[in-house]
Amino acid sequence: MLYREAGQFKTSYAADMAVFPIRQDRIALWLLLAFVFIGIPLLANFQIWPFGSEYLLRAILVPFLILSLAAIGLNILTGYCGQLSLGSGAFMAIGAYCAYKFGTGVNIPLFGLALSIPPLPVLPSILLGGLMAAIGGILFGIPSLRIKGLYLAVATLAAQFFFDWVFARVQWFTNYTSSGSVNAPQLEFFGLFVNTPIERYMLCLIFVVVFAMLAKNLVRGNLGRQWMAIRDMDIAAELIGIRPLYAKLMAFAISSFIIGVAGALWAFVYLGSWEPLAFSIDRSFQLLFMVIIGGLGSILGSFLGAAFILVLPILLDQVPHALGIPVSVETVSLLVFIVTGALICWLLIVEPHGFARLWATAKEKLRLWPYPY
């Protein structure tokens, strides 16, 4: 079937406002959802290649899903609202450690009085972890009302270093374990236990699909337009009645909430046990590269960027091996830096909207094919 919208007339604004107004796109989306929700579990169940081994699920798909989620969060702040942030790692850490605290019971001694919350189930713990990250995001977003661009990036960098320090030094957050490393609680959701790789994959998938849908709704609604207006021209935005205070802090809050939830999932579902290093400045840069490469201001781009950044090192590692060229681990990590850096430069010059825009342009060409216009 050709990729055409001919004959598909929109009869209502609701239909015109759909995320995928072209029928072929909708069909493709349903097929994709069916594959990821039903196909992959079936393949894994019957041990069919490439899902026979656990490697693909455990080492690629689970981190891909979680980092996609974090990239969506960062994209809301940086891509949609135009506020550059280098603190994503910190907000992931807040989500992870606070979820851990809520999961193991919070006890705050206050001059004899003690505030204590009994251990909560995993789901509320994760969501509360996100909420704490949102509060942190709002606090560290306040400078954005006065400063912009690189200066703001420095402020968010301060958040990164501050929380790196907090979680490494304040032992209350790690329940005073001697090693400083903490273990995730048993993953139980409404009586269901999540242990095997396929179960972990399904859990992350559900989170990602739900959050991606909610995020997509937000960015194409009134708040999303306010964010983009602030990003593109904050003065004009104010003159049409957008309040920068509200719009920016909402971007920080919602972005950090999503990143916090992603952090909690990263710790609980992917790592299982972790140290503060898991959420260092490297993570912040990794997420930033994902949204730049994938596409600033695009939910789809968040997935594309996460896939690229995760798959690139694996490709650079495996391809030379398959070709019989011995490459050391150091060379691979160096190559990853070089390729990523070069690609970012190229994209920023040629297509500042990343893979997502290249994809949209390709679709546009396909829609008109074989005519140039």
Partner 1 sequence: MRAPAASDIAAGEAILSVKNVSLAFGGVKAINDVSFDIKKGEIRAIIGPNGAGKTSMLNVINGFYHPQHGQITFKGRTRQAMRPYEAARGGIARTFQNVALFKGMSALDNIMAGRTLKMRRGFLWQMLRIGPALTEEIAHRRRVEEIIDFLEIQAIRKIQVARLPYGLQKRVELGRALAMEPDLLLLDEPMAGMNLEEKEDMSRFIIDVNDHYGTTIALIEHDMGVVMDLSDRVVVLDHGVKIADGTPDEVKSNQAVIDAYLGVAH
Q: Do the Cβ atoms of 304 and 355 come closer than 8 Å?
A: yes
Nearest to 263 by CA among 105, 107, 73: 73
**Rounded distance, CA 57 to CA 76, Å?**
27
| Degrees, nearest 5: CA angle 350-355-356 | 115
What does 174-213 look like in DSSP terms, one character per residue? GTT-SSS-EEPPP-EETTEE--SHHHHHHHHHHHHHHHHH
**Assigned token pair, 286:** 């990794």
CB of 232 to partner 1, least distance (A): 4
In the bound state with partner 1, the residue whose beta carbon lies nearer, of 239 and 322, is: 239
| Degrees, nearest 5: CA angle 164-101-138 | 55
In the bound state with partner 1, the residue whose beta carbon lies nearer, of 148 and 225, is: 225
CB of 350 to partner 1, least distance (A): 16
In the bound state with partner 1, the residue whose beta carbon lies nearer, of 63 and 224, is: 224
Residue 246: Cβ within 10 Å count: 11
Q: Do the Cβ atoms of 173 and 129 come closer than 8 Å?
A: no
In the bound state with partner 1, the residue whose beta carbon lies nearer, of 40 and 76, is: 76
**Assigned token pair, 22:** 């072209």
CB of 303 to partner 1, least distance (A): 19
In the bound state with partner 1, the residue whose beta carbon lies nearer, of 144 and 174, is: 144
| Degrees, nearest 5: CA angle 365-371-373 | 70
**Assigned token pair, 25:** 């796109």
C-alpha neighbours within 13 Å on the C-beta side of residue 11: 2
CB of 276 to partner 1, least distance (A): 32
In whole angstroms, how far apart are CA 95 and each of 79, 237, 261, 346, 373? 21, 32, 6, 34, 48
| Degrees, nearest 5: CA angle 35-65-221 | 90
End-to-end, the C-alpha distance of the chain in Å comes to 20
CB of 355 to partner 1, least distance (A): 17
In the bound state with partner 1, the residue whose beta carbon lies nearer, of 245 and 319, is: 245
| List of residues contacting partner 1 (CB under 8 A) | 12-14, 17, 214, 217-218, 221-226, 228-229, 231-233, 235-243, 250, 254, 297
Mark residue 318 as left, alpha or beta (left: phi above 0; alpha: psi -120 to 50; beta: remaining). alpha
CB of 245 to partner 1, least distance (A): 9
CB of 352 to partner 1, least distance (A): 10
In the bound state with partner 1, the residue whose beta carbon lies nearer, of 99 and 223, is: 223
CB of 221 to partner 1, least distance (A): 4
Taken in order 117, 119, 123, 129, the sign of the CA dihedral is positive
CB of 348 to partner 1, least distance (A): 15
In the bound state with partner 1, the residue whose beta carbon lies nearer, of 155 and 247, is: 247
In the bound state with partner 1, the residue whose beta carbon lies nearer, of 17 and 314, is: 17
